[in-house]
């Protein structure tokens, strides 16, 4: 137990170094792609806290991304707030939204919670259309400044780093133990003095706040343009897929999950085998199913299994 | 049949009422009230009547797909997010058969057979391996199926609109000021008929009994010789058939395109929850209710503009989930988790 | 516009032309990105998948035309290399694809990209990078009006509000007592059309008895159509994308509503769609719309239609059947591609980005064989709307019928 922080810190330092060095090795275009990976990394990290650590499912995190994204767009376009300053605001607003959603979620679990959160994913993108006066409707909304790819790379990966450390601190401490207790046995958790309602709601809030910041950054990597189509149901489903690829309940796999959903469509589009644009969907769908069939615990599970084999 | 029924006695008895209706007295009274309201409204206003009839036809389609969701939920305790896309793909199969020269209704029948086989195959190949793992795992597999099927259909048939011959013709009947499309009546009839047939299968056949047993008490069922895995696969097959019916009945008004079932699936979710995820009858009534409710609010509630229809339907879903998670027709869960 | 405003506009316009000319002169000795001695690299984003994918015949036709041009000497000896990317109509996908075109594919120009929101999501970036974003395939008026702030962006087709104004004027002139019922898509596209109609109707806009919107997530349009019927509308105006337009026409027949006149916007007036609607029971006879491209069915003797037919036969056989049925999107693709080739030919012996924009800002030709006969492509330093003429068309012949033009060419459509 005591060795883990040391190993973790080493890996963390290495990861930081790689990210910093990578900035200088990548072209502007690839910096943009890497920034998208960071955005998904943050969102999946948040989703993983909810699903992997407290066992509550959400198919609605795209909705929180939409709320965060529109917060940034509106604050920048209409109130000329600095782009970076909109991030904590998104964090706070979506944290509150997460708590609000988390309260009714106390009564629901499993499939019912999946459906309720799915309802969010479907409904929230409709509101910018209804209230187009504030959101620009289908024509979307443009932030006052549009940062370049280098800026985006630094900001998104800094946020990803902060988010990761924060998640690690939360999960290794008392809160993390409480979360896991809630997941593994609600009854035992309650009897050992862990307040179920508080921790379940808290997990929703934290998780939504991560998605909110990811949503803000998502809008920034989309040239600062927020539009309802960006936050469709597919986004929520992609996050879920990313979390599954990552391996639920593990922080390190998140990078693989994020890279998977951010890069696979780009890669498979250029694969000669696939050719047709619809081939992308076929390949993506097939890989998702295969991963679930072959790698029940995601990439991390695979690594762990390989590790065991080597040790054996 | 009888021995099986006796040996499964415990199983079927606890669930029997849930399968038949499961509705409590207040729910029945409320439904009767709603029915009276609709009839009175229809008699007093022709636009009310037309909106109601059109809502019922639309609702019957929601109901078919909702019923498919319920079947799968009862069999494997998961929501099949690919249900709508599967229905869409099967409608394309039907279309292809008519292109190859089959008459509409022959193609219809053959499509249902193919749907059954495809549904069974999907359960055997991709669902069974993850079935016992977690809700999340199965949900993600169905999401993967969603994307895969969508890609396959667009690859094979393209995304441009396709059209089948109208199965019911384009006649319009006039009763007073109210116009009834023969097509709407046909859709209503086919949807209701397929639901009734399914009900008969479940209630009065040995296969139906075995399927219910496999879904509700898999351990007990396998003890008495029910091949549980096969029963679950057949459940997926039947759900796929119902989906195909919903798809083929959607085609006359929405035509063939890869996205045709996506809105329908969303409303089917709302319908299934409204009726109670465990209740087939509830799914159908939930579907009809959602269909009529949407049309009437659209007509009479100014704020409920088109972009808010879906949020409204899902607000209903959320309220039901919070107030009565078992829906109008569901019973309290008897199953141990 | 007052005298002062006009002077300002002229001065501003001259300034743009001058600055572009200066840029053109200074860039003359070095080749712009995407230009080699043998090729011109261009690319665009299109919805090949997703809800708007029925427009995918547009880039296919454009590619066929470029292939044809390449086999006939290219543009001053350079072959056009056209990259088609799929953004599925989602702006968050358009943005990295536009960056890919600029930084990785290093295109000379982003050409023909489809959709308003994808266009709005990328025009800031492309103008900042000084990459031409030309002939956007959308009829919103932003491209035409914003050339001062976004000098590297141009549109091509007539704008939507202008088209809607024309319908309004037509109704005032021919059906002054019409009770108008409008169905429109609940986004900027539908709302701009609706606003244009009200402008065109002028004082008669009180004749609109009901306007219903629909959302792409609505499972059917029956509710909206019944509402229009119940409000007593006798003139049905549909501002929708193609699929909902067909559904609307079919649904109207299905609920027993027979308005005395029906008008649909030209994006949806593809002959294929009307045939399909008729086959599904819609009353299509007498439906009115507009067109600005030649018809591959009724005008098959036109040289442009013949040329298009032979190009398709050789370079894009998969388009043949829809071309034979009158798919207007194919003629659109040819008309747009012709315009680009024309502009490239006028962008200097060695085309430059600034030269391309200059050519697109000084179009003055009636030679485009693929647009409706008589339509002139015309722009100037202060007029960035290439096509401002349309023909009104009316459907006759039911389920085997076709569009027939009537009246004179409309002018000043914007």
**Interface contact flag, A138 C95, Cβ < 8 Å:** no
List of chain C residues whose C-beta atoms are within 8 Å of the C-beta of residue A132? 188
Tokens coding A12: 């963390």
The answer to whether residue C29 is domain-embedded is yes
- Structural domains of chain A ordered from first start: 3-256 (1.10.3470)
For residue C335, name the pLDDT band (cuts at 50, 70, 90).
very high
The CA distance from B321 to B327, in Å, is: 7
Interaxial angle between packed helices B182-204 and B46-76, expressed in degrees from 0 to 180 and rounded to the nearest 10: 30
**Rounded Cα gap, residues B89 and B79, in angstroms:** 18
Strands of C79-86's sheet, edge to edge? C79-86, C39-46, C109-111, C133-136, C153-155
A195's tokens: 């307040």
Q: Which residues are CB-neighbours of B24 under 8 A, at least 6 positions away? A: none
Query: Does C309 score more than 80 pLDDT?
Result: yes
Answer whether residue B337 shows pLDDT above 70.
Answer: no
The rounded distance, in Å, linking the Cα atoms of B263 and A37 is 30
Residue of A nearest to C86 (CA): A277
Whether C48 and C100 share a structural domain: yes
Min mean pLDDT across A71-75, B298-302, C202-206 is at B298-302
Buried b (16+ CB within 10 A) or exposed e, C151-184: bbbbbbbbbbbbbbbbbbbbbbeebeebbbbbbb
pLDDT at B22 over 70: no
Q: Which residues of C touch B294 (CB under 8 A)?
A: 223
Q: A246-255, B155-164, C66-75, C260-269: which range is least confident on average?
A: A246-255
C314 and C276 part of one domain: no
Which pLDDT value is given to residue C18? 53
- pLDDT-derived band at B272, boundaries 50, 70, 90: very high
Complex-level ipTM: 0.82
d(CA C132, CA C354): 8
Q: Tell me which chain B residues have a C-beta less than 8 angstroms from the C-beta of A248.
A: 136
Task: Give which of B144, B150, B276, B332 to mutate to test A binding, by max A Cβ within 10 Å.
Answer: B144
Q: What is the pLDDT of residues B200-254, one digit of tens each?
A: 888 888 888 888 888 778 888 888 888 888 888 999 999 999 999 999 999 888 8
Same-domain check for residues C399 and C367: no
Measure CB to CB from residue B317 to each of A119, A127, A296 and give the nearest one: A119
Percent share of chain C, pLDDT over 90: 67
**Cα–Cα dist B256/C285, whole Å:** 24
Burial class (CB in 10 A: 0-12, 13-18, 19+), B104: middle
Q: What DSSP string describes B245-273?
A: HHHHHHHHHH-B-TTTTHHHHHHHHHHHH
The chain B residues in contact with chain A (CB within 8 A) are 73, 77-79, 81, 126, 129-130, 133, 135-137, 139-141, 143-152, 154-155, 266, 269, 273, 277, 305, 307-308, 310-311, 314-315, 317-318, 321-322, 325
Q: Is the pLDDT of residue B332 over 70?
A: no
Position A273 confidence tier, pLDDT thresholds 50, 70, 90: very low
Burial category of C353 from C-beta neighbours within 10 Å (exposed 0-12, middle 13-18, buried 19 and up): buried
Which pTM does this prediction carry?
0.86
Q: What share of chain B in percent tops pLDDT 70?
A: 91
d(CA A104, CA B271): 20
B160 in Cβ contact with C318 (< 8 Å): no
Q: Does C1 fall in a domain?
A: no
Mean per-residue pLDDT, C314-332: 93
Whether B7 has a pLDDT exceeding 50, the answer reads no
Residue C74: strand, helix, or coil = coil
Contact check, Cβ <8 Å, C96/A266? yes
**Mutating which of B73, B147, B316 best tests the A interface, going by the most A Cβ atoms within 10 A?**
B147
What's the average model confidence in pLDDT over C182-188? 91
Give domain status of residue C6, yes or no. Answer: no
User: What average pLDDT score do residues C337-365 get?
Assistant: 94
| C-alpha span between B137 and A290 (Å, rounded) | 12
Point out the residue among B78, B136, B318 whose CB comes nearest to the CB of A244. Answer: B136
Query: In terms of domains, do C226 and C260 share one?
Result: yes
Q: Is C55 found in the same domain as C125? A: yes
For chain B, give every domain's residue range. Answer: 23-323
Give a yes or no: residue C91 inside a domain.
yes
Residue of A nearest to C84 (CA): A277
**Does any domain span residue C320?**
yes
Q: What is the CATH number of the domain that holds C336?
A: 3.40.50.2300
**C253 and C401: one domain?**
yes
Distance in angstroms (rounded) separating the CA atoms of residues C318 and C336: 20
Q: What is the DSSP letter of B26?
A: H
Closest CA to B165 of B259, B260, B111, B94: B94
Question: What pLDDT, in 10s, does the model give residues C222-281?
Answer: 899 999 998 999 999 999 988 899 999 999 988 889 999 999 999 899 998 899 889 888
Contacts of C378 (CB under 8 A, 6+ apart): C363, C364, C365, C386, C388
Would you say A62 and A228 are in contact if contact means Cβ atoms under 8 Å apart?
no
Rounded to 5 degrees, what angle do the CA atoms A84, A242, A232 make?
A: 70
Q: Chain-wide mean pLDDT for chain A?
A: 85
Cβ-defined contact of B144 to A292 (cutoff 8 Å): yes
Of C86, C92, C188, nearest to A230 by CB-CB distance is C92
Look up the domain containing C353 and give its range. 12-158+301-383
Phi, psi of B162 (to 5 degrees): -125, 160
Residue A202 has pLDDT above 60, yes or no: yes
Q: Is residue B4 classed exposed, middle or buried when 0-12, 13-18 and 19+ CB atoms within 10 A define those classes? A: middle
State how far residue A187 is from chain B, nearest Cα, in angstroms: 14
Both C146 and C210 in one domain: the answer is no
Confidence of residue C6 (pLDDT cuts 50, 70, 90): low
Please report the pLDDT score of residue A219 as a whole number: 96
Contacts of B38 (CB under 8 A, 6+ apart): B52, B292
| B192 vs A118: CA distance, rounded Å | 28
Each residue's pLDDT tens digit, C12-60: 555 555 555 555 555 445 789 999 999 999 999 998 877 777 788 999 9
Pairing of strands C208-214, C180-185: parallel
Q: Between these two residues, A115 and B166, which has the higher pLDDT value?
A: A115
**Cα(C386)–Cα(C141) distance, integer angstroms:** 12
Q: B103-112, B314-323, C331-340 — which is least confidently predicted? A: B314-323
Cross-chain residue pair B144–A288, CB shorter than 8 Å = yes
Distance of alpha carbon B175 from the chain centroid: 30
Provide the sign of the torsion angle of the four alpha carbons A53, A59, A62, A64, taken in this order: negative
pLDDT at B198: 85
- Contact residues, chain B, for C218 at CB < 8 Å: 263, 306, 309
* Among A140, A149, A278, beta carbon nearest to C120: A140
Residue C263 lies in a domain: yes
Mean pLDDT score, A285-308: 73
- Beta-bridge partners for C84: C44
Using the predicted structure, report yes or no on whether residue B56 has a pLDDT greater than 60.
Answer: yes
Which residues in chain B have Cβ-Cβ distances shorter than 8 Å to A282? Answer: 148, 151-152, 155
Q: Using CA atoms of C343, C348, C354, C356 in order, give the dihedral in degrees to the nearest 10.
A: 10
* Angle formed by the axes of helices A174-184 and A196-221, nearest 10°: 110
C350 vs B21: CA distance, rounded Å: 78
Predicted confidence (pLDDT) at residue A18 exceeds the cutoff of 70: yes
Task: Give the CA count within 13 Å in the CB-facing half-sphere of B319.
Answer: 7
C212 shares contact with chain B (CB less than 8 Å): yes
DSSP notation for B226-243: --HHHHHHHHHHHHHHHH
What percent of chain B is modeled with pLDDT above 90? Answer: 32
Per the structure, how many domains does chain C have?
2
Distance, CA of B263 to CA of B269 (rounded, Å): 10
A185 and C CB contact within 8 Å: no
Q: What is the DSSP string of A54-85?
A: H----S-HHHHHHHHHHHHHHHHHHH---HHH
pLDDT of residue B123: 93
Residue C2 domain-assigned (yes or no): no
Interface membership of C61 toward B (CB under 8 Å): no
Q: What value does the mean pLDDT take over residues B96-106?
A: 94
In a domain, C7, yes or no: no
Q: How far apart are CA A91 and CA B103, in angstroms?
A: 59
């Amino acid at each position: 137990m005591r060795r883990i922080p040391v190993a973790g810190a080493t890996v963390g330092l290495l990861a930081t170094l790689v990210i910093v060095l990578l900035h200088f090795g990548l072209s502007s275009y690839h910096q943009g792609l890497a920034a998208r990976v960071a955005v998904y990394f943050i969102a999946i990290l948040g989703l993983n806290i909810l699903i992997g650590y407290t066992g509550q499912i959400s198919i609605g995190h795209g909705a929180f991304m939409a709320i965060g994204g529109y917060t940034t767009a509106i604050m920048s376009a209409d109130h000329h707030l600095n782009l970076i300053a909109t991030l904590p605001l998104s964090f706070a607003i979506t944290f509150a939204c997460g708590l609000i959603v988390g309260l009714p979620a106390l009564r629901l679990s499993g499939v019912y919670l999946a459906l309720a959160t799915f309802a969010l994913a479907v409904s929230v993108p409709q509101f910018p259309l209804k209230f187009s006066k504030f959101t620009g409707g289908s024509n979307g909304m443009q932030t006052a400044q549009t940062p370049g790819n280098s800026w985006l790379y630094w900001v998104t990966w800094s946020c990803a780093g902060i988010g990761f450390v924060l998640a690690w601190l939360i999960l290794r401490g008392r809160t993390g133990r409480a979360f896991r207790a809630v997941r593994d046995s609600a009854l035992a958790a309650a009897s050992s003095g862990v307040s179920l309602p508080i921790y379940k709601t808290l997990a929703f809030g934290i998780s939504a706040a991560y998605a909110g910041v990811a949503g803000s950054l998502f809008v920034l990597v989309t040239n600062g343009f927020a539009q309802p189509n960006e936050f469709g149901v597919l986004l929520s489903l992609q996050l879920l897929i990313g979390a599954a690829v990552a391996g639920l309940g593990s922080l390190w796999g998140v990078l693989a999950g994020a890279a998977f959903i951010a890069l696979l469509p780009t890669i498979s589009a250029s694969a000669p085998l696939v050719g047709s644009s619809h081939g992308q969907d076929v390949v993506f769908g097939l890989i998702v199913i295969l991963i679930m069939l072959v790698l029940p615990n995601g990439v991390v599970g695979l690594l762990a299994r390989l590790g065991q084999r080597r040790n054996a | 049949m009888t021995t099986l029924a006796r040996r499964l006695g415990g199983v079927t008895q606890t669930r029997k009422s849930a399968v038949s209706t499961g509705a409590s007295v207040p729910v029945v009274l409320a439904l009767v009230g709603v029915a009276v309201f609709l009839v009175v409204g229809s008699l007093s206003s022709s636009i009310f009547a037309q909106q109601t009839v059109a809502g019922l036809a639309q609702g019957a389609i929601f109901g078919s797909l909702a019923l498919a969701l319920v079947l799968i939920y009862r069999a494997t305790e998961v929501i099949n997010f690919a249900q709508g896309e599967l229905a869409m793909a099967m409608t394309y199969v039907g279309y292809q058969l008519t292109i190859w020269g089959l008459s509409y209704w022959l193609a219809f029948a053959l499509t249902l057979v193919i749907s059954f086989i495809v549904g069974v195959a999907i359960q055997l190949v991709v669902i069974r391996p993850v079935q016992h793992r977690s809700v999340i795992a199965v949900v993600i597999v169905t999401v993967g199926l969603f994307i895969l099927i969508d890609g396959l259909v667009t690859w094979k048939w393209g995304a441009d609109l396709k059209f089948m011959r109208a199965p019911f013709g384009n006649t319009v009947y006039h009763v007073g000021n109210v116009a009834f499309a023969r097509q709407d009546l046909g859709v209503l009839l086919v949807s209701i008929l397929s639901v009734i047939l399914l009900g008969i299968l479940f209630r009065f056949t040995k296969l139906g009994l075995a399927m219910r047993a496999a879904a509700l008490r898999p351990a007990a069922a396998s003890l008495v010789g029910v091949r549980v895995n096969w029963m679950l696969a057949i459940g997926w097959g039947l759900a796929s058939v119902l989906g195909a019916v919903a798809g083929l009945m959607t085609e006359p008004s929405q035509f063939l395109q890869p996205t045709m079932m996506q809105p329908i699936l969303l409303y089917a979710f709302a319908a299934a929850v409204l009726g109670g995820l465990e209740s087939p009858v509830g799914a159908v009534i939930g579907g009809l209710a959602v269909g009529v409710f949407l049309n009437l609010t659209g007509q009479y509630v100014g704020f409920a503009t088109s972009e808010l229809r879906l949020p409204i339907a899902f607000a209903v879903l959320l309220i039901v989930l919070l107030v009565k998670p078992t829906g109008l027709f569901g019973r309290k869960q008897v199953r141990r988790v | 516009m007052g005298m002062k405003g006009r002077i300002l506009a002229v001065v501003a316009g001259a300034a743009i032309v001058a600055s572009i000319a200066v840029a053109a002169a200074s860039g003359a000795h070095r080749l712009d990105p995407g230009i080699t001695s043998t090729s011109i690299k261009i690319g665009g984003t299109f919805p090949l998948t997703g809800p708007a994918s029925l427009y995918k015949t547009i880039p296919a036709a454009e590619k066929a035309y470029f292939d044809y041009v390449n086999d006939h000497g290219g543009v001053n000896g350079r072959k056009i290399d056209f990259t088609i990317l799929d953004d599925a109509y989602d702006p968050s996908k358009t943005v990295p694809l536009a960056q890919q075109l600029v930084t990785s594919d290093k295109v000379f120009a982003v050409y023909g990209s489809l959709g308003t929101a994808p266009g709005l999501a990328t025009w800031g970036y492309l103008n900042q990078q000084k990459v031409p974003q030309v002939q956007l395939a959308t009829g919103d008026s932003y491209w035409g009006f914003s050339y001062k702030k976004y000098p590297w962006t141009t549109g091509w087709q007539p704008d939507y509000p202008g088209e809607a104004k024309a319908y309004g004027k037509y109704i005032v002139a021919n059906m002054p007592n019409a009770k108008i019922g409008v169905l429109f898509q609940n986004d900027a596209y539908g709302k701009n059309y609706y606003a244009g109609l009200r402008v065109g109707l002028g004082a008669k806009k009180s004749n609109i008895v009901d306007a219903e919107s629909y959302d792409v997530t609505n499972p059917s349009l029956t509710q909206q159509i019944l509402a229009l019927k119940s409000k007593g509308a006798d003139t049905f105006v549909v501002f929708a994308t193609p699929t909902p337009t067909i559904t609307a026409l079919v649904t109207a027949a299905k609920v027993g509503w027979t308005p005395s006149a029906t008008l649909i916007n030209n994006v949806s007036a593809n002959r294929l769609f009307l045939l399909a609607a008729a086959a599904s029971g819609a009353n299509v006879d007498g439906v009115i719309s507009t067109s600005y491209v030649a018809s591959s069915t009724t005008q098959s003797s036109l040289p442009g239609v013949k040329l298009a037919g032979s190009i398709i036969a050789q370079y894009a056989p998969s388009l043949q059947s829809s071309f034979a049925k009158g798919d207007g999107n194919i003629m659109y693709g040819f008309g747009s591609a012709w315009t680009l080739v024309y502009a490239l030919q006028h962008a200097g012996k060695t085309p430059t980005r600034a030269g391309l924009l200059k050519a697109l800002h000084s179009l003055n030709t009636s030679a485009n064989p693929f647009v409706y006969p008589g339509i002139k492509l015309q722009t100037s330093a202060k007029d960035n709307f290439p096509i401002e003429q349309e023909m009104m068309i009316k459907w006759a012949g039911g389920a085997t019928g076709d569009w027939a033009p009537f009246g004179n060419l409309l002018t000043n459509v914007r």
